[in-house]
Amino acid sequence: MGSKALSNAHGKGSRAVVLLSGGMDSCVCAALAVRDHQTAAVHVSYGQRTEQRERRSFESICDRLEIRDRLLVRNDALRSIGGSALTDSGIAVPESHAIGNNIPVTYVPFRNAHFLAVAVSWAEVLGAGQVYIGAVEPDSSGYPDCRPEYYRAFNEVVKTGTKEGSIRVVTPLIAMHKREIVTLGLELGAPFDLTWSCYQSEKRACGVCDSCALRLRAFRDAGAEDPIPYEVAAAR
């Protein structure tokens, strides 16, 4: 950890909970939370193809950002329910040409509500005032639960459904283009080298799934080098 801005010192007044999948967006989101709050991080494994690799990223990003308060949760429901290429091995993960066409098969039905429920419950017990989530609308896969109107609505649920009604879900990246997220992450010293985005592989990022394609384009457009290795040599 080079950057002083990223110290997760307990002297900070306000507390926050960040949802940290281990991907590039949530990593930048966690770096932002750590800059401004005493931050706790939560990770949800839900039977997605790359869950072990993502959990490893979560732990190492927390180490680097000095996040001590961590919650690792298993969600069995999403795997049992299926209906997505990420949780059902019978549905193939598409290659990048699918970007831009409607809602892709990697959409996990109503997934972010599961994640937010965990983060808000924990925030309520910790006394944290904010829940950070790295949802992104532009240049993204077109998931309905990554749009600002979804988070506006969710905040009403939090307001009406918690004891104090004072927790806010914040989405600092939601209007940013992926290349801007890369630039912001580099400014903050976010540990991109520890992140995992690939939907398909746990060993080496495939370079061709939707998620790899979006990430690679983001780094290229930002004029930066993606520090992780890829299976497809041409990917970079």
**C-alpha span between 40 and 180 (Å, rounded):** 25
**C-alpha span between 208 and 96 (Å, rounded):** 6
Is residue 101 near its own copies by the rule CB under 8 A? no
Residues contacting its own copies: total by CB under 8 A: 45
Q: How far is the CB of 85 from its own copies (least distance, A)?
A: 13
**C-alpha span between 30 and 190 (Å, rounded):** 8
Burial of 66 (0-12, 13-18, 19+ CB in 10 A): middle
Closer residue to its own copies in complex, CB, 77/92: 77
Is residue 165 near its own copies by the rule CB under 8 A? yes
CA 82 to chain centre: 20
Closer residue to its own copies in complex, CB, 112/200: 112
Q: Tell me which amino acid residue 47 is.
A: G
Is residue 82 near its own copies by the rule CB under 8 A? yes
Closer residue to its own copies in complex, CB, 124/180: 124
Stretch that binds its own copies, among 28-36, 78-86, 179-187, 227-235 (CB under 8 A): 78-86
What's the token pair of residue 231? 């299976």
Is residue 232 near its own copies by the rule CB under 8 A? no
Stretch that binds its own copies, among 24-32, 93-101, 115-123, 183-191 (CB under 8 A): 115-123
What's the token pair of residue 172? 């600092």
Is residue 117 near its own copies by the rule CB under 8 A? yes
